[in-house]
Amino acid sequence: MDFTPIINQVISALWYLMPLAILAGLIKSPWFKGVVGEFIVNLATKLFLNSSEYHLVKDVIIPIENGTTQIDHVIVSKYGIFVIETKNLKGWIFGSQNKKYWTQKIYKHQNKFQNPLHQNYKHVKSLESLLDLGEEKFHSLVVFVGDSTFKTQMRQNVTYAGGYLKFIKSKTDVVFSDLEVNEVLERISSGKLSGSIKNKISHINHVRDIVNEKENSMSCSRCGDSMVLRVSKKGNNSGSEFWGCSKYPKCRGTVNVT
């Protein structure tokens, strides 16, 4: 019996399925989630904030002492400089200002991720240094997009996508003149690195170096053993990186690196 026609049909079907599999993997990746989160904030800014008063600068990569740091969004206005960190996460979110890690819970599965307020604090300080301005000129803002629910009381500057506009508009004290706003925009433009592929790869490598350094020093909060970087292969967080205890499955301690 000649199986050639059947084999050809199977190969043809695989050619159709491969792009779908790649697309599914891309959609679940942390990179795509980040892009979606940034797009939502960008769109809301353009639709609901007056562009003559609020000036959006996206994807700001600036040099720091030991590498680079990347800021999702910076909005410059006469009411101050809003430094925005976006998080695209599902499930219940538990956290507080002083905790090093927050917790994401989806049914019985839990992941820990770095306190985004601490992340954004570093971004604000980097911009303060770049612009040579005091902290009173800045507003730190963390925006969660996606199907997430806060299960602990959050600060005013930690909000959902719809609430971040309310936070921005709540700041009504004028701290910059129109001339100073333009000067700040020019200094950000001249001080930040271009969004070239080379600079983005350099920043990614810098982040990887930090991750590798943490891998050598991070210990499991449950058993005290070392943690290793892993990638989730199933569930709602498929494709996401996380720290897992090296003693797994005996110990199931995890820390999300989102």
Amino acid (1-letter code) at residue 191: G
When pLDDT is averaged across residues 108-116 and rounded to a whole number, the result is: 88
Report pLDDT digits (tens) over 174-224.
999 999 999 999 999 888 764 444 544 444 444 455 445 554 556 777 777
pLDDT in tens, 12-30: 555 555 554 444 444 444 4
Which has more pLDDT, 39 or 131? 131
The better pLDDT of the pair 61, 238 is held by 61
Q: Where are the beta strands (DSSP E) in 108-210?
A: 109-114, 138-145, 148-150, 158-160
The pLDDT of residue 31: 47
* C-beta of residue 218 within 8 angstroms of C-beta of residue 226: yes
Whole-structure pTM over 0.75, yes or no? no
Q: How far is CA 85 from the centre of its chain?
A: 6
**Mean confidence (pLDDT) of the chain:** 78
Helix pair 30-48, 4-28: axis angle to 10 deg:
50
Cα 142 to its chain centre, rounded Å, is: 10
What type of residue is 56?
L
d(CA 77, CA 75) in angstroms, rounded, equals 7
Task: Break the chain into its structural domains and give their ranges.
Answer: 13-218
Q: Does the pLDDT at position 119 exceed 80?
A: yes
Q: What is the number of other CB atoms lying within 10 angstroms of the CB of residue 231?
A: 13
